[in-house]
């Protein structure tokens, strides 16, 4: 076994697919006996949508999506950003609930040859020991990646710190089978009350989503309908005619960031590496962690790159999570602050966010907080046939796009780089070297510069 991935959520499954595209052997271990059917996330936003296009997965996701396309508006905490021109950023979304995401990614990973072992719980890292249905057994993976969530066992065993804060506000969230007209009198969005906030919304016909936020300790045990109704009465001052519960959950938001993403042969990705106090960013950032790490681990395992390349994972992705943590802390503060101070802050922030430049800036933060240069999805002509950059990137290889018939660059690229000689009316340079994750590592120049970029692709 070359690489062990702990956790078969979306991030772990995305990573498994990326590793297989890179030619690495991977086994995914998950302590759950079956996939989690709780719709904990409802969609993907921003650059990850573009990355799914790069991998040929966009149409599969669209087939499962209630909506797929650009967003004219999007919430930044309690403030709605309007992306009408001229402030519109390239912010796209796929509204897909998490169980369907996991099903698509699991299908893709297994198609590519990844093995998924469910009902297998990590016991120790040194030696690597797993407890399965038939008892404990050992393996010797070269690398281990923890994609096992907020309470990561991998992070704990690796001794990686996870500093940050945990909010005192408890969120109860439930999906109920109910007719929308029953809730016609309720306020859409978060309804602020002296004791907390209540959300009533629906993304699927016949299913109503109800949320209750209040400052209270988390009770023991699993949430119950009776507890949910009691919380509604405390905050709303009334009850709602909720139908049959589909699932109920409790969460307390946290703002945390792992001190390091790598400890020797152990790595973290997704919620194991970062927790954000406002929704809409965690899964997007986590899946992009997987895209960044996957090709690097595969390259090292194949022997086409040295181990030092793996240090660039922390160097590139840790600042992204830190930046995302900043903007989600602001979202949470805007949403949580009560009284006249909170009203004043939200009013003024909303006025500022209405300016096109401000909306564009916030939209780009929501799209991706990464400062690395990514290749745009340029229209190309290759061998007389029209195509796109995204279609060329399907195989997850490093690609040299030659837009100016540079024989010297093609010769310098060497055998490990896919060379695409293309015509492009909007080419940003005479050539681009694009990493498997879409990052531009070379933008025109001398053959020596290209060779340097190929030798050291991590920034």
Q: Mean pLDDT, the chain, as a whole number?
A: 92
**Residues 6+ away with beta carbon under 8 Å from 191:** 197, 198, 199, 200, 236
User: With contact defined as beta carbons under 8 Å apart, do 212 and 233 qualify?
Assistant: no
Other CB atoms within 10 A of residue 431 CB: 23
Q: Which of the two residues, 37 and 151, has the higher pLDDT score? A: 151
Distance CA(203)–CA(224), nearest Å, equals: 23
| DSSP three-state, residue 218 | coil
On the question of pLDDT at 189 being above 90, the answer is no
Task: Pick the closest to residue 212 from 177, 251, 158, 181 (CA basis).
Answer: 251
**Residues 6+ away with beta carbon under 8 Å from 47:** 284, 288, 367, 368, 370, 374
Q: What is the pLDDT of residue 193?
A: 87
C-alpha torsion angle, residues 147, 150, 154, 155 (rounded to 10) = 120
Q: What is the pLDDT of residue 297?
A: 98
Residue 376 in tokens? 């745009």
Length of the chain: 459
The CATH label, of 3.40.30.120, 3.50.50.60, 3.40.50.620, 2.40.30.10, for the domain at 379-455 is 3.40.30.120
**CATH code for the part of the protein at 176-253:** 3.30.70.2450
Q: What is the pLDDT of residue 90?
A: 65
User: With contact defined as beta carbons under 8 Å apart, do 243 and 206 qualify?
Assistant: no
On the question of pLDDT at 377 being above 80, the answer is yes
Q: Quick one: pLDDT band at residue 218, thresholds 50, 70, 90?
A: confident
255-312 pLDDT, tens digit per residue, is: 999 999 999 999 999 999 999 998 779 999 999 999 999 999 999 999 999 999 999 9
The CATH label, of 3.20.20.70, 3.50.50.60, 3.40.50.300, 1.25.40.10, for the domain at 3-162+258-367 is 3.50.50.60
Q: Over the range 140-172, which residues count as b (16 or more CB within 10 Å of their CB) and which as e?
A: ebebbbbbbbeebbbbebbebebebeebebbbb
Distance CA(451)–CA(192), nearest Å, equals: 58
Q: Quick one: pLDDT band at residue 17, thresholds 50, 70, 90?
A: very high
On the question of pLDDT at 88 being above 50, the answer is yes
Where do the CATH 3.40.30.120 domains begin and end in the chain?
Answer: 379-455
Average pLDDT over residues 371-379: 95
Distance CA(96)–CA(115), nearest Å, equals: 24
Give 351-355 contacts, CB < 8 A, sequence gap 24+.
Answer: 353/76, 353/79, 353/81, 354/82, 355/87
Distance CA(225)–CA(367), nearest Å, equals: 36
Q: What is the pLDDT of residue 185?
A: 45
Q: What is the pLDDT of residue 89?
A: 67
Q: What is the pLDDT of residue 202?
A: 78
User: With contact defined as beta carbons under 8 Å apart, do 6 and 122 qualify?
Assistant: yes
On the question of pLDDT at 459 being above 80, the answer is no
421-439 pLDDT, tens digit per residue, is: 999 999 999 999 999 999 9
Q: What is the pLDDT of residue 183?
A: 52
Q: Which of the two residues, 85 and 155, has the higher pLDDT score? A: 155
Angle at 142 (CA atoms; ends 136, 143), nearest 5 degrees: 90
402-412 pLDDT, tens digit per residue, is: 999 999 999 99
Distance CA(420)–CA(424), nearest Å, equals: 12
Average pLDDT over residues 91-109: 93
**Residues 6+ away with beta carbon under 8 Å from 24:** 2, 3, 297, 298, 301, 302
Q: What is the pLDDT of residue 158?
A: 98
319-362 pLDDT, tens digit per residue, is: 999 999 999 999 999 988 888 999 999 999 999 999 999 999 99
Residue 94, judged by CB atoms within 10 A of its CB (0-12, 13-18, 19+), counts as buried
225-265 pLDDT, tens digit per residue, is: 999 999 999 998 888 888 889 889 898 889 999 999 999 99
113-172 pLDDT, tens digit per residue, is: 999 999 999 999 999 999 999 999 999 999 999 999 999 999 999 999 999 999 888 999
Q: What is the pLDDT of residue 236?
A: 87
**Residues 6+ away with beta carbon under 8 Å from 313:** 261, 262, 267, 292, 293, 296, 458
Distance CA(136)–CA(126), nearest Å, equals: 14
């Amino acid at each position: 076994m070359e690489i062990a991935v702990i956790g078969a959520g979306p991030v772990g499954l995305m990573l498994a697919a990326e590793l297989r595209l890179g030619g690495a052997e991977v086994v995914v271990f998950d302590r759950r006996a079956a996939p989690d059917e709780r719709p904990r996330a409802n969609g993907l936003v921003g650059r990850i949508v573009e990355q799914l296009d790069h991998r040929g997965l966009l149409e599969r996701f669209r087939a499962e999506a209630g909506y797929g396309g650009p967003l004219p508006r999007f919430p930044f905490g309690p403030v709605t950003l309007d992306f009408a021109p001229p402030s519109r950023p390239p912010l796209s979304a796929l509204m897909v609930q998490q169980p369907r995401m996991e099903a698509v990614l699991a299908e893709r990973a297994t198609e590519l040859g990844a093995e998924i072992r469910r009902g297998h719980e990590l016991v120790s890292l040194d030696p690597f020991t797993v407890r399965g249905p038939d008892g404990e057994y050992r393996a010797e993976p070269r690398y281990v990646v923890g994609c096992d969530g907020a309470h990561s066992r991998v992070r704990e065993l690796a001794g990686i710190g996870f500093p940050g804060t945990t909010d005192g506000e408890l969120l109860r969230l439930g999906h109920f089978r109910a007719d929308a007209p029953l809730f016609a009198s309720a306020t859409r969005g978060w309804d602020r009350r002296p004791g907390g906030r209540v959300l009533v919304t629906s993304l699927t016909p016949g299913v109503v989503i109800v949320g209750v936020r209040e400052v209270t300790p988390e009770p023991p045990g699993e949430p119950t309908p009776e507890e949910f109704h009691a919380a509604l009465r405390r905050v709303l001052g009334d009850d709602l005619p909720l139908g049959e519960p589909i699932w109920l959950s409790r969460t307390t938001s946290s703002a945390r960031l792992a001190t390091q993403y790598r400890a020797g042969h152990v790595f973290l990705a997704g919620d194991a590496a970062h927790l954000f106090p406002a929704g809409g960013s965690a899964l997007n950032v986590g899946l992009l962690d997987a895209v960044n790490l996957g090709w690097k681990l595969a390259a090292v395992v194949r022997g086409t790159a040295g181990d030092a390349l793996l240090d660039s994972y922390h160097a590139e992705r840790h600042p992204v999570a830190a930046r995302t943590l900043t903007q989600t802390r602001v979202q949470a503060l805007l949403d949580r602050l009560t009284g006249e101070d909170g009203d004043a802050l939200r009013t003024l922030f909303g006025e500022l966010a209405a300016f096109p430049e401000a909306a564009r800036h916030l939209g780009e933060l929501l799209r991706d907080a990464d400062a690395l240069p990514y290749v745009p999805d340029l229209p190309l002509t290759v061998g007389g046939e029209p195509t796109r950059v995204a279609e060329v990137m399907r195989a997850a290889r490093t690609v040299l796009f030659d837009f100016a018939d540079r024989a010297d660059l093609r010769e310098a690229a060497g055998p490990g780089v896919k060379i695409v000689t293309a015509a492009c009316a909007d080419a940003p340079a005479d050539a681009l070297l694009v990493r498997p994750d879409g990052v531009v590592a070379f933008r025109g120049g001398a053959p020596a510069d290209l060779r340097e970029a190929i030798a050291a692709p991590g920034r």
